[in-house]
Amino acid sequence: MLLKLGEIVLRGRNRWRFYAQLQRNVKRAFRDVGPLELRQRGGVLAVLAPDEHADALLARARDVIGVNVVHPARVLEKTPEAAAAAAIQLLRDRPGRTFAVRARRRDKQWALTSHELAALVGRAVQDELDLDVDLDEPDLEIHLEVDRSEIFAYTEKLPGPGGLPVGTSGRALVLLSGGIDSPVAAFRVMKRGLRCDFVHFSGRPFTGPESIYKAYAQVARLDRFQGGSRLFVVPFGHAQRELATARAGRLQVLAQRRLMVHVAAALAEREDAQALVTGDALGQVSSQTLHNLAVVEEASPLPLLRPLLAWDKSEIVREAESLGTLDVSTLPADDCCTLFASPLAETRADRRKLQRVEGLVELPALVPRLVASAELVRPGSPRRTAETAERV
């Protein structure tokens, strides 16, 4: 199979760092299928794997971030005869009257030009199969790519996710609520090369465990894009009650959000993450007015990334659907945010009042306590094997 890389190819001399990371990610995604051979050919990565896993591998390759296009390809001996035989085999019994051979060379020294190869293979196909050449609008197309030590032949082109390989931009901690937005936010920053850890604040012991299950299931679904995902679960109920007791009132949601950010930032520093990520979108709810977003951001010593800031809800929902996280997001669960919240949320939080509330709950002690209470789970690995079993 051939993986065509997108944006990485535009990189300058440090392109090789991106290729190396992509290769590590491919090996990780295919770890359980036995030995693979990888051949980097410029902006194309050839993956040679045992045939019996072809379909499962194809599906997984299409989830490797950094890959724009996947071709299920055959690897051929570097001769025109091998190319002709493969073309005949690949086009035989396919519905259609006309065909075209598209040839190109990455090895410019080879005996035949692309044009000569295409003509030669075209004739062989015509002789063998009852098909006519049509270069403009063929029913069938076969692609031949002449490379360093082989020819690749394929007829199909499947889209991958694109983006930059996970890990090339560093590491981030995503605040994952169990709702619709935050899993989409995570995917968007993964596509910009960030490896993601996740933190979920649950209303425990004042809510049930449902929101934790949702966060767990969402991370399990996102894991196919990076592998080895980690989710930290912080029981947040008592801290929320403390804020309520400190009479946060209409500032309850903002005070909680700032506390989450304090805790997430401390956790991120402990775990070597360089940024926080949330699913905030400007103006979506009252805690997301520009003023309130700024107030929340002030609680973070790390950059707080909001990849969905300018997205419409409908755009987010559409993406959640295509990622496969939407159905989990819409399952019922008590939202820890509304637990102690006043029905009248503040759209323009007063910083002095917030400081008074935060003074009463003694943040310098509370934050490390919450960080220490975070429980680590790894939603990725078990599902990966189950999924493999299903797909193979």
Name the DSSP class of 278. -
Q: Pick from 179, 183, 203, 235: which binds Mg ion (CB under 5 A)?
A: 179
Q: How far is CA 233 from the centre of its chain?
A: 21
Q: Which of 170, 220, 218 is nearest to 196 (CA)?
A: 170
Minimum separation from the CB atom of position 334 to ligand ATP (A): 10
CA distance 3 to 98: 27
User: What are the φ/ψ torsions at residue 391 (nearest 5 degrees)?
Assistant: -80, -30
Amino acid at 380: G
CA-based end-to-end distance of the chain:
17
Footprint of ligand ATP on 331-350 (CB under 6 A):
336-337
Specify the stretch interacting with ligand ATP by CB under 6 A; choose among 80-88, 102-110, 273-281, 370-378: 273-281
CA distance 300 to 263: 9
- Cβ-in-10-Å burial (0-12, 13-18, 19+) of 352 comes to exposed
309 with 282: CB under 8 angstroms?
A: yes
268 binds ligand ATP (CB under 6 A): no
Q: Which is nearer to Mg ion, 179 or 193 (CB)?
A: 179
Minimum separation from the CB atom of position 284 to Mg ion (A): 10
Tokens matching residue 376: 């680590």
379 binds ligand ATP (CB under 6 A): no
Tokens matching residue 17: 């760092």
Q: Pick from 181, 242, 319, 346: which binds ligand ATP (CB under 6 A)?
A: 181
Size of the site for ligand ATP (CB under 6 A): 19
Element counts in the chain: helices (H) and strands (E): 14, 16
Minimum separation from the CB atom of position 352 to ligand ATP (A): 23
Minimum separation from the CB atom of position 200 to ligand ATP (A): 5
175 binds ligand ATP (CB under 6 A): yes
Tokens matching residue 367: 């934050």
Residue nearest to ligand ATP (CB): 179
169 binds ligand ATP (CB under 6 A): no
80 binds ligand ATP (CB under 6 A): no
Minimum separation from the CB atom of position 238 to Mg ion (A): 20
282 binds ligand ATP (CB under 6 A): no
235 binds Mg ion (CB under 5 A): no
Q: Pick from 21, 25, 169, 177: which binds ligand ATP (CB under 6 A)?
A: 177
Specify the stretch interacting with ligand ATP by CB under 6 A; choose among 4-12, 92-100, 178-186, 378-386: 178-186
372 with 16: CB under 8 angstroms?
A: no
Q: Which is nearer to Mg ion, 139 or 321 (CB)?
A: 321
- Cβ-in-10-Å burial (0-12, 13-18, 19+) of 191 comes to buried
Residues found near Mg ion in the complex (CB under 5 A): 177, 179
Contact positions toward ligand ATP, by CB under 6 A?
175-177, 179-182, 200-201, 260, 278-280, 284-285, 287-288, 336-337
